[in-house]
Amino acid sequence: MNVQRVLSMHVTNGDAVVYLFRKAGVVGTHVPWRDALHEGPVPPLSSLEQLSALRGAYLARRGFGKPIKILHDFEERDAAIQRAPEFSEIVLWFEHDLYDQLQIAQILVTLDALALEPGRVHLIASDQYLGSMTADEIAELHPKRRVVTRSTFDAARAVWTAFTAGDPQALLEHTRRDVPGLAHMRAALVRLCQEFPWTRDNLSRSQRHALEAVAQGPGARDELFRRAQAREEAPFLGDAPFYAIISDLQSSAAPLVETFGETLVPTVLGRSILAGDGRWDAAPSRWIGGVDLELTPYLWDDDAQKFLAVDEAVRP
């Protein structure tokens, strides 16, 4: 009797889950994606390799790792995903938070371009963090994988197109209705919109969380990180991006955080903003997806859940 061997590729968000795959006996080729797409430029480039080169240079510049290793990891990852047609099944293991949801969109767009036969790609969408599971819990998820349908591939492409667009208004459509086959995407994209400067103080939600964490009192960097993440419904920020935010708050032309002895404390402007009486008009240049925030004329109104033009949002 001939038994056809199933060759599996398992794609997930990072190395911690790959380690659990090995402990759990999840057999196959393991591909960690390793990119905080919510942070920095993600313009609509024509190939994965072009975008990886841009992303690698940005992540290294922000201090998220050694340049050579970051670029090597991206090259290895991209080569692996291009080999997807060699596998009987490709299983995507991802979580509900913003970090993972943007990776799902990118990966589905990449796999769709490879014209795989229907039924080859499966998704495990967890509402718990995979890296905190036991090997037994990981193994129990594998039979629950679901086939990615044509409508989900199309939805992922629409999300990715909106995310990489140069106008943030393109995101709004996807925050107002569920995304077919991607149950957590809508909430994640609302959280992404909250990373744009807000109408009330020109801070993003993550920047405000960081400032609030400093204002709570003395604490080591890891304690500040824990304080800020405790304010999230679905924590997504890694420690390196968080520390980069703290650095931005300290080093801008109008700093919101300063060092007092060996402790970080809010500046006068930082305290004023926390009291609801100030604006941060010297924020460092940032990108979100395809949007260069220096060029966009919009701010995020969280009460109305929409973008407002700067001249409409900021009045004397």
Give the pLDDT of residue 310: 86
Between the alpha carbon of residue 82 and those of residues 90, 104, 111, the distances in Å are: 12, 16, 8
Q: Which residues pair with 31 in a beta bridge?
A: 11
Residue appearing with tokens 């349908």: 149
Residues sharing a CB contact under 8 Å with residue 310, sequence separation 6 or more, in sequence order: 297, 298, 299
Q: How far apart are CA 106 and CA 112, in angstroms?
A: 10
Q: How far apart are CA 134 and CA 60, in angstroms?
A: 32
Domain edges within the chain: 8-191, 197-313
In the numeric block, which tokens belong to residue 9? 């590729």
Residue appearing with tokens 């969280």: 302
Q: What are phi and psi of 204, to 5 degrees?
A: -80, 165
Task: Read off the amino acid at residue 167.
Answer: D
Between the alpha carbon of residue 44 and those of residues 157, 171, 192, the distances in Å are: 12, 14, 17
Q: How far apart are CA 183 and CA 126, in angstroms?
A: 10
In the numeric block, which tokens belong to residue 123? 């998704």
Helix (H) or strand (E) holding 121: strand 121-126
Tell me the CATH number of domain 197-313, given options 1.10.10, 3.40.1580, 3.90.1690, 1.10.1660: 1.10.10
Same fold, 8-191 and 197-313: no
Residues sharing a CB contact under 8 Å with residue 65, sequence separation 6 or more, in sequence order: 59, 240
Give the pLDDT of residue 43: 97
- Separation of first and last alpha carbons in the chain: 80
Q: How far apart are CA 170 and CA 102, in angstroms?
A: 15
Give the pLDDT of residue 312: 74
Least Cα distance to 195 among 310, 279, 291 occurs for: 291
**How many residues in the chain?**
316
Task: Read off the amino acid at residue 152.
Answer: T
Its pTM stands at: 0.95
Instruction: State which residues of the chain have pLDDT below 70.
Output: 1-6, 313-316
- How many of the other CB atoms lie within 10 Å of CB of 197? 23
In the numeric block, which tokens belong to residue 96? 């509900």
Q: Which residues pair with 146 in a beta bridge?
A: 123
Tell me the CATH number of domain 8-191, given options 2.40.160, 3.90.25, 1.20.272, 3.40.50: 3.40.50
